[in-house]
């Protein structure tokens, strides 16, 4: 007889129940009612930037979040969005549409780790109003196995294509660089195309032993911007600005730099807070020349 007991005294059936419970809990927490959502979200400022900024190519948003705040905010801003699902009654995921050039002017939203409004059905993945069972949320290590299946395979292929595109620019914010699968895809893209670039806006302080720092030291087209330090062209250093006589603080970036108490020196160290999505969204919105009233 093969024993069914696993770690912590749980059986395989117990672990399955635990995972399903986690999925349902995440789906519930990430699906607040409309009246509980604040009116002024940073996602709205992000949507304003997408709508108003001039660009030659559509924005592509890759997210590991399960909630629908990005989609909701883009819709409120009347920004056309394509997410890989087609149909109008019960939209279904179509892998070939992810690689398509159709609707080239539409903003793309790719949810790599699933969504609260996705469901697994016998014929594939469908999108609806909300799925209480959280069947398409993968909080455990099993997501690495599942990522070989649709829709994850198609979305990871899209990420690889975008990063390896000539002169592409990817900005990460709110991503801890803790997902080995995603990291491998990003770094492979940087290695294959020298003209592509990634800017990693990091929320927590970075140090010499931080994984993202070690990656940036080996890949000069990966720039890391942490609160206390940054890595530019493979070199880690603390932030410092010139505050000597005759130097005028100019430009919008000064607003996102908090100087340390003045020490009498001609330079000042400080902290950069762009790794906070609230601040980053405000920064993006500030770059548009005009901000018409919200829809």
pLDDT in tens, 249-289: 545 566 788 887 765 566 678 899 999 999 999 999 888 75
State the angle between helix axes of 180-192 and 211-218 in degrees (0 to 180), rounded to the nearest 10.
10
Look at residue 134 and tell me whether its pLDDT is greater than 50. Answer: yes
How many domains does the chain fold into?
1
Q: Closest Cα to residue 223, out of 258, 264, 275?
A: 275
pLDDT in the model for residue 192 = 94
Residue 125 lies in a domain: yes
Tell me, rounded to whole angstroms, the distance of Cα 136 from its chain centroid. 18
d(CA 45, CA 67): 17
Average pLDDT, the chain: 84
The runs of H, that is alpha helices, within 30-94 are: 42-52, 69-76
266 is a domain residue: yes
- pLDDT for 219-254, tens place per residue? 999 999 999 999 999 999 999 876 555 545 545 566
Cβ proximity of 198 and 170 under 8 Å: yes
pLDDT at res. 295: 39
Average pLDDT over residues 19-25: 83
Sheet holding 92-93, edge to edge: 85-86, 92-93, 124-127, 118-121
Does residue 226 fall inside a structural domain? Answer: yes
Cβ-count burial 29-51 (b if 16+ within 10 Å, e if not): ebbeeeeeeeeebbbbbbbbbbb
User: In whole angstroms, what is the distance from residue 94 CA to residue 7 CA?
Assistant: 38
| Residue 32 CB partners (closer than 8 Å, separation 6+) | none
Task: Assess if residue 113 is contained within a domain.
Answer: yes
Range of the domain at 132: 11-286
196 vs 13: CA distance, rounded Å: 46
Give the mean model confidence (pLDDT) for residues 44-57: 88
In a domain, 255, yes or no: yes
pLDDT at 50 exceeding the cut of 60: yes
Q: Classify residue 1: in a domain, yes or no.
A: no
State how far the Cα of 112 lies from the Cα of 4, in Å rounded to an integer. 32
- Report the pLDDT value the prediction gives residue 293, as an integer from 0 to 100: 44
**Burial tier of 287 (Cβ tally within 10 Å: 0-12, 13-18, 19+):** exposed
DSSP 252: G
Q: How many CA atoms lie within 13 A of 56 on its CB side?
A: 3
Q: Which residues contact 88 (CB under 8 A, 6 or more apart)?
A: none
State the Cα–Cα distance between residues 21 and 258, nearest whole angstrom. Answer: 42
Q: What's the whole-number mean pLDDT along residues 108-131?
A: 85
> Do the domain assignments include residue 259?
yes
Report how far apart, in Å, the C-alpha atoms of 283 and of each of 30, 46, 74, 276 are. 25, 9, 17, 11
In a domain, 139, yes or no: yes
């Amino acid at each position: 007889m093969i024993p069914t007991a696993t770690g912590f005294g749980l059986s395989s059936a117990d672990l399955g129940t635990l995972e399903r419970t986690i999925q349902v809990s995440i789906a519930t927490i990430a699906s607040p009612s409309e009246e509980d959502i604040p009116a002024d979200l940073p996602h709205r400022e992000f949507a304003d930037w997408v709508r108003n900024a001039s660009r030659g190519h559509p924005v592509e948003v890759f997210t590991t979040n399960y909630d629908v705040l990005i989609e909701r905010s883009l819709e409120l801003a009347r920004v056309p969005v394509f997410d890989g699902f087609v149909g109008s009654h019960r939209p279904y995921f179509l892998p070939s549409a992810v690689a398509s050039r159709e609707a080239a002017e539409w903003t793309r939203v790719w949810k790599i780790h699933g969504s609260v409004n996705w469901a697994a059905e016998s014929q594939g993945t469908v999108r609806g109003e909300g799925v209480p069972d959280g069947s398409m949320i993968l909080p455990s290590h099993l997501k690495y196995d599942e990522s070989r299946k649709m829709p994850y395979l198609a979305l990871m292929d899209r990420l690889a294509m975008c990063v390896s595109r000539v002169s592409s620019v990817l900005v990460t914010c709110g991503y801890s660089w803790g997902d080995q699968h995603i990291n491998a895809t990003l770094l492979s893209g940087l290695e294959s195309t020298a003209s592509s670039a990634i800017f990693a806006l990091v929320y927590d302080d970075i140090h010499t032993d931080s994984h993202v720092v070690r990656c940036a030291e080996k890949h000069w087209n990966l720039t890391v911007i942490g609160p206390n330090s940054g890595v530019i062209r493979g070199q880690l250093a603390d932030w410092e600005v010139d505050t000597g006589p005759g130097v005028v603080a100019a430009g919008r970036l000064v607003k996102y730099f908090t100087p340390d108490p003045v020490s009498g020196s001609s330079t000042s160290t400080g902290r950069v807070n762009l790794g906070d999505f609230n601040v980053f969204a405000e920064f993006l919105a500030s770059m548009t020349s005009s901000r018409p009233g919200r829809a």
